[in-house]
Structure 1
Amino acid sequence: MTEEARGKGRPAGRGARWGAAAWSLGVLALLIALPLAARHRLPDPLATHWGGRDPDGSMSLTWAALFPALVWLVLVAVAALLQRYCAEQAPGCGAAALASGGVLLTGAQTAVVHANLDRARWQDAAPMGVEVVLVLAATAVAGALAWLAGRGTGRAADGRPEEHPTAGTPALDVPEGERFVWLSRAVNPWLQLLAAVLGLVAVAGVLVAASGLTGLDWSVALSFTLPALAVLVCSSVQARVTARGLTVGFGPFGRPARRWSPEELVSARAEARTAAQAGGWGYRVNRLGTTVMLRGGECLVVRTRRGTDFAVSVDDAERGAALLNAVIARGGRPTGRAADQPS
């Protein structure tokens, strides 16, 4: 048998929708803006199709800007339908479609602008070679990462869809030989939106440089890329209790993560905290100890044997604390085969 105590969790999808909206609008803007920004240095029409390495097809400048944008809008609609109707059967499919499609189209648009830049006729466009390989590789990587991130927000650690427990159902008395897991997530949609905006600015700068319009200033690119990654990691959190103790993972992939074995913990409790008490949003250290604050309210707080507190703002913290206290009292003895597997 398996005893599963899933955290109720606030809808992680709200933060994902904010990010998807920002990504969709950003990609749309880039697809239209890239050729229009370079219009004084491009032929009209310009080469848009290559047979092998040499150009063999063209479009007007206006249509070259609008056609990829229309394709992108169709892809966004398809991704939204996939997310709405196929998320449970294939979690992450909508995110993968958006990520890979956006990278493919913006990469292709960048390569087209670069190949036509400062050419008198579209027939004189530069040949395509390594650009195609780089765009396809980036598309595959983006799709795989988005798919993994989407699966992480839609499924529990054992790979099955999350099921919300009936309110008040105790999950403390776990008989020997049974497996159990408690999992709860929290997101801050405003932090996810900020990460998406910073990331889009960084991507836009790299694409503009790759198109040949400007040189690449690494100091400017890193000044947006590094904060985007830092904010993304701090914008979502998941807490997981098993027979091996507590694991708190950050970001869409649950990495990096902090882990405590039952032997390292003294007790666990649920406690209401505000951002003002924690010192702000994100990862905070003050007189209360360490707090991962993504939204005010219920937090899971653990006291370590070093005498410090660690708190994480997730829902259903009372249930998680109760189960973790049972694990601590048991001394970390495994309760089943699943508990012997690394978390």
Structure 2
Amino acid sequence: MTDRTKRTRGTRWGAAAWVVGVPAVLAGLPPAASSRLPERLATHWDGETPDRSMPLWAAAVSPALVWAVLALSMALVGRRGGAPAAAWVGVSLLSGGVSLAGAQASIVRANLDRADWRDAGSVGTGMAVTAVVAVAAGVLGWWWAGRRVALQVHAEQGASGEVMEVPESERRVWLSRTANPWLQLTAALTGLVAAAALLAGAGGLIGLRWALIAPFAITSVLALSCASVQARVTESGLEVAFGPLGRPVRRWAAQDIVSARAEKRTPAQVGGWGYRLSGLGTTVMLRAGECLVIRPTKGSEFAVSVDDAETGAALLNAFSARDAG
């Protein structure tokens, strides 16, 4: 399986979890609070006063249908528009999902424990908070998408020796990325649980139970940060970035690397999956097989499981030898 295939699969896992999870939350909130809601829910306000309503079932289904139309439209745009369109698709789905979920939570909370929809409270504060979070999600999505599109892979696929010959007039960069779909799925599922609990608390269905929200949220963040890794070799040396946002990052200058090589390793050899410390040094193990291994001038060896490690090692050796010379 190529690096590009793995990257695409990981992206699809996350997108699928988001596309399925958002309508589940939208359609599930009103029925979950049905015992505390009037038969019809206020769904539109003229300032502070509710002026339109819907039956409870319609208030549950309508935003889910809006989401379905948005998701299908974005799927068509993404298939026909290429990489630039994919960035807009990601931003639209992120900000759109946050907007719809926040609006639904605000509507449920405004109608909670009201005998009639005309007595519903205001949604102003909830909608204002939702707007801020939606914009932040869109900006974050655009930054991440732009970062991924901007990364260019310039790998010398035919390198057969341990040291690649790089003419002084040329600048070469090697980039490889690996993702573990099971860790990505774990991050998505625990994140959805945390988000659902947070929305239920915001909607007044339950209290804000941080003892439930925090562990799932922390697990989601940790799993996501360990689910993918990106190794990049330039004239400056080696850079290994973790997670979808490329943070945190470990760096080694070319002159601080004694040698680099490709080596096959398994989780059993290094003590499991993820960031492992063993007798072999430090290994970032996301899949068994080829790893890029470096021996720095100080400290133990460092290995990262990425594709085409032989090319990365050869280029890194070339840069290290140039600096040493």
What TM-score do you get using the length of structure 2 for normalisation?
0.93
The number of equivalent residue pairs is 322
What secondary structure sits across from 1:88 in the alignment?
helix
CA contact (8 A) 1:152 1:252 kept: no
Match of 1:260 in 2: 252
Compute the displacement of 1:82 (Å): 3.0
What secondary structure sits across from 1:86 in the alignment?
helix
Match of 1:338 in 2: none
Q: Which protein is richer in helix relative to its size?
A: 2
Match of 1:199 in 2: 191
| Counterpart mapping for 1:287-306 below 5 A | 287-306=279-298
Q: What is the aligned-residue RMSD (CA, Å)?
A: 1.9
Deviations 1:137-175 (A, max 9, x none): 11111122222233344441xxx5x57x57425792222
What is the letter of the counterpart of residue 197 of structure 1? L
**Unaligned runs of at least 5 residues, structure 1:** 1-6, 334-343
* Counterpart Cα distance in 2 of 1:155 and 1:268: 27
Deviations 1:60-89 (A, max 9, x none): 110100011111111111222233222423
What secondary structure sits across from 1:57 in the alignment?
strand
| 1:251 lines up with 2:243 in the alignment | yes
What secondary structure sits across from 2:140 in the alignment?
helix
Which of 122, 140, 146 is the equivalent residue of 2:141? 146
Match of 1:20 in 2: 15
Match of 1:100 in 2: 95
> Cα–Cα, structure 1 residues 94 and 64, in superposed 2: closer, same or farther, change >3 Å?
same
Match of 2:308 in 1: 316
CA contact (8 A) 2:156 2:311 kept: no
What secondary structure sits across from 1:331 in the alignment?
helix
Which of 41, 65, 70 is the equivalent residue of 2:65? 70
* Counterpart Cα distance in 2 of 1:213 and 1:9: 43
| Counterpart mapping for 1:205-220 below 5 A | 205-220=197-212
* Counterpart Cα distance in 2 of 1:169 and 1:101: 46
Aligned-pair identity (%): 53
What secondary structure sits across from 1:226 in the alignment?
helix
**Unaligned runs of at least 5 residues, structure 2:** none
Deviations 1:184-203 (A, max 9, x none): 11111111110000000000
Report the more deviating stretch, 286-295 or 170-179. Answer: 170-179
* Counterpart Cα distance in 1 of 2:5 and 2:310: 15
CA contact (8 A) 1:87 1:94 kept: no
What secondary structure sits across from 2:115 in the alignment?
coil
Match of 2:234 in 1: 242
* Counterpart Cα distance in 1 of 2:12 and 2:261: 32
Deviations 1:262-290 (A, max 9, x none): 12211100011112112111111111111
Compute the displacement of 1:53 (Å): 2.3
What is the letter of the counterpart of residue 207 of structure 1? L
CA contact (8 A) 2:3 2:178 kept: no
| 1:232 lines up with 2:227 in the alignment | no
Match of 1:341 in 2: none
What TM-score do you get using the length of structure 1 for normalisation?
0.89
* Counterpart Cα distance in 1 of 2:65 and 2:58: 10
